Structure 1
Amino acid sequence: MHTTHYIPPLNFSPVISTDVSLYRSGYPMPINYSFIKERLNLQTIIYVGDKEDTSAEYIAFLQQEDINFIPVHMDSCNDVDIQAKLDRILHIILNVDNYPILIHSNKGKHRVGVVVGIIRKLLQGWSIAGVYQEYGIFSGGMKGETDLEFITMFKTDLIVDKNKLPGFARI
């Protein structure tokens, strides 16, 4: 009897699993593709990272599975145009047509931590203490004071289609 083993990407975790599914992780490797294909049934992947070149193998996998791949180049929360980048990500997240979604960075720690922290704070009403605690868990206890300060201060005037909002979003 052959058993298929599914191996999630580094730092994989569900973020939202109510009316929609939103996940976070590090950069998926070929060993993770069967997990993504068989377990997540993704519609969209948002990559927040600094890699300019995406492997041909990864692109072929995404095309084969008909997964919409959206790269958002982010070095850190100190990027000059960070507000526009995060508004773009939030716009994607706030449209049910894009689900299920995986947001990944290279390691699934800091950049994804900022995006998830903003989702938790703005869209779910989490306390800053809760956001900081989750950030710390995924960053391995590595301090990200700049990231945490950025999450705390982040605001947006994003306008979205209320008919497309996922149920978890408190807007």
Structure 2
Amino acid sequence: MYIPPLNFSPVVSTDVNLYRSGYPMPLNYPFIRDQLHLRTIIHVGDKQDLSPEYAEFLEQESIQFHNIYMDSCRDDGFKNRMNQILEIVLNVDNYPMLIHSGKGKHRVGTVVGIIRKLLQGWSIAGIYQEYDIFSGGLKGEADLEFITMFETRLYIRKDKIPGFVTSITT
């Protein structure tokens, strides 16, 4: 029996697979290994240390791991960290990919909201609705404002852009 991590959900299931979730526990490792076949994991959160079991699992499965520090969208440097995440997301060589945070609510919700807005052309109303579903109705007003106001300029290789990206200027 496979058990997905808390708040697990596909974000994109097309030419590449992008998933979101809370922090995986050892009982989730078989699901990740056997069902997702991940190449990359991005952790967004304030937890800097990996558990020994998780570090061993990542090494055994040869999963590239990026630990991007984020306490909240009010942090200094949050935009730069979001740009780091977007650069990873915008490289097709990094897929299949999982983005997770502690519980898979607010931090991942902010990241996914920005992906939906900038890369998929979603409406703000749709982004807010999805954020609300995963946050359990606990509004993150600052997160939603950050998503709404976030703009960036990145230089990326056109031949590495995943096919799900519909609203990026190349």
TM-score bracket, normalised by the shorter chain, equals over 0.9
Tell me, yes or no, if structure 1 residue 13 matches structure 2 residue 9: yes
SS of the counterpart of 1:120? helix
Tell me, yes or no, if structure 1 residue 81 matches structure 2 residue 77: yes
CA RMSD of aligned residues (A): 0.5
Give me the whole-angstrom Cα distance separating, in 2, the residues matched to 1:112 and 1:44.
15
Q: Which runs of 5+ in 1 are unaligned?
A: none
Using the TM superposition, give the Cα deviation of residue 53 of structure 1 relative to its aligned residue in structure 2, in angstroms: 1.4
Give me the whole-angstrom Cα distance separating, in 1, the residues matched to 2:135 and 2:73.
15
Q: Counterpart of 1:133 in structure 2: which amino acid?
A: Q
CA shift digits 1:34-64 (9 cap, x unpaired): 0000000000000001112110110000000
Map of 1:65 onto structure 2: 61
Q: Which of 23, 29, 32 pairs up with 1:27?
A: 23
> Residues 73-112 of structure 1 correspond to what in structure 2 (within 5 A)?
73-112=69-108
In the alignment of these two chains, the number of paired residues is 167
Assess if the C-alpha contact under 8 Å between 2:87 and 2:156 holds in 1. yes
What TM-score does the superposition give when structure 1 sets the normalisation length? 0.97
> Residues 41-60 of structure 1 correspond to what in structure 2 (within 5 A)?
41-60=37-56
What TM-score does the superposition give when structure 2 sets the normalisation length? 0.97
Give runs of ≥4 in structure 1 deviating > 2 Å: none
Q: Which runs of 5+ in 2 are unaligned?
A: none
SS of the counterpart of 1:148? helix
SS of the counterpart of 1:46? strand
Q: Counterpart of 1:41 in structure 2: which amino acid?
A: H
Map of 1:150 onto structure 2: 146
Using the TM superposition, give the Cα deviation of residue 168 of structure 1 relative to its aligned residue in structure 2, in angstroms: 0.9
Using the TM superposition, give the Cα deviation of residue 79 of structure 1 relative to its aligned residue in structure 2, in angstroms: 1.1
